[in-house]
Structure 1
């Protein structure tokens, strides 16, 4: 059975003191990890202090990005090897903001996914869906090609350590969430694609999240869908009390 995940993505928000304070506010109020995984992705400067603050609580701390090389002359990048050694075991890759603002391609993301897995990190791979394609075709079949590219060359064992996040870019940070049926459609197509690539047994083990203007008002309807195994939350994860309300939906 797939353990659901509630994960927050802070993006470029909060300083170290704010991040540690947030962890201290929530860490004793989380459900057991075998019932629900709770995670926070934070700016790189905050990660190590957050890991220390989280201690042996159920809270997992995630990186928002990493490079595909372990070390070298790559100014400003973050090593997947260094992340793992610092106690970070999860990383978000391929977020629509990375693709849009920094020109990340599926080929680059595929390299990052492989590097993360090689270093013991579990990647959360984000797949986009633009409003233009939604309006034109009223379907999200095109996410299939993105999955094929981002996961190209992974073994059956490796894919079991990957989580997929279906994130329509038109819903991210806009306050306009996909309705539960739309969200479920995207997650279903992703699972079917993984089934075509790796078989039904593997596809049934891979967790697929929805992200895009998730709030306390819509989380129950989203989590009720059988192909949605959790949510990747943006703005609503910045407030400790709101985040706890999401966790205890």
Structure 2
């Protein structure tokens, strides 16, 4: 099964509108008139989405993502942004369930599932993040943790909704630490995650869904990681904040 790789830049709480303008113009100068054998996604902070869309909205090789969305449609939820609101920014993807949302903001599997389903109601494509802590891995609980996250997070999705979802496996111990899972570790875990999808949705759907790796992906390790048969791209944090670094990862990692 040939799956189109997807490389997504998660800027987290970095780059306001002026910095986003600088980044977008620089990236645009590097990708104009080029085609890529992969999907390229950029997820700026909410306040920078308008500026990113203004500059990159007509670039066919690049799509935009939000870093989060609410599980609610509207109402008295101060500080929240609904999936329908995001549609007005020409957003195609939304990151849901990132480990920072889980650990810092207390998002549960139930909340994450509600957000995924809400995103699909308005035809946004979730980038659904899963991953274990170092304590969980060393305690032999990796498979149990991932099984719960996958089964609860994808609960109630149709096959169509599943195939418009990207799973991002991010070992929490490798996010922003400079430590990266070995290619063997990453491949083994991706294969396990794909087997979980097969249990829930069938082998055909599991063969089609894209599963990214995230966790200190850099130009220096991108090629080895992306060569693994079950890794379909990367969710990139710090290394995506500089246009050339982000592009280097894509060029080294895309087939």
Superposition TM-score, scaled by structure 1 size:
0.96
Tell whether 2:141 aligns with 1:135: no
Distance change (3 Å), C-alpha of 1:186 and 1:221: same
1:16-73 Cα offsets, whole Å, 9 max, x none, are 011121111112433535x111111110000121011103211111100000112111
SS of 1:89's equivalent in the other structure is strand
Q: Cα distance, 1:140 vs. partner?
A: 4.0
Residue in 2 that maps onto 1:8: 9
Residues 25 and 55 of structure 2 are in contact (CA less than 8 Å); yes or no, is this contact kept in structure 1?
A: yes
Residue in 2 that maps onto 1:18: 19
Residue in 1 that maps onto 2:44: 42
CA distance in 1, matches of 2:29, 2:148: 41
1:145-204 Cα offsets, whole Å, 9 max, x none, are 210000011111111110000001110010001111111112111111111111111111
CA distance in 2, matches of 1:18, 1:193: 40
Tell whether 2:63 aligns with 1:60: yes
Tell whether 2:208 aligns with 1:212: no
Residues 131 and 146 of structure 2 are in contact (CA less than 8 Å); yes or no, is this contact kept in structure 1?
A: yes
Residue in 1 that maps onto 2:92: 89
Residue in 2 that maps onto 1:72: 75
Superposition TM-score, scaled by structure 2 size:
0.94
Q: Cα distance, 1:136 vs. partner?
A: 2.2
Q: Cα distance, 1:139 vs. partner?
A: 5.0
Residues 240 and 246 of structure 2 are in contact (CA less than 8 Å); yes or no, is this contact kept in structure 1?
A: yes
Distance change (3 Å), C-alpha of 1:221 and 1:133: same
Q: Which stretch of the first structure deviates more once superposed, 228-237 or 239-248?
A: 239-248
CA distance in 1, matches of 2:152, 2:217: 27
CA RMSD of aligned residues (A): 1.3
Give the paired residue count: 248
Residues 127 and 166 of structure 2 are in contact (CA less than 8 Å); yes or no, is this contact kept in structure 1?
A: yes
CA distance in 1, matches of 2:132, 2:8: 20
CA distance in 1, matches of 2:93, 2:132: 23
Where structure 1 has 5 or more consecutive residues not aligned to the other structure, the ranges are none
Tell whether 2:239 aligns with 1:236: yes
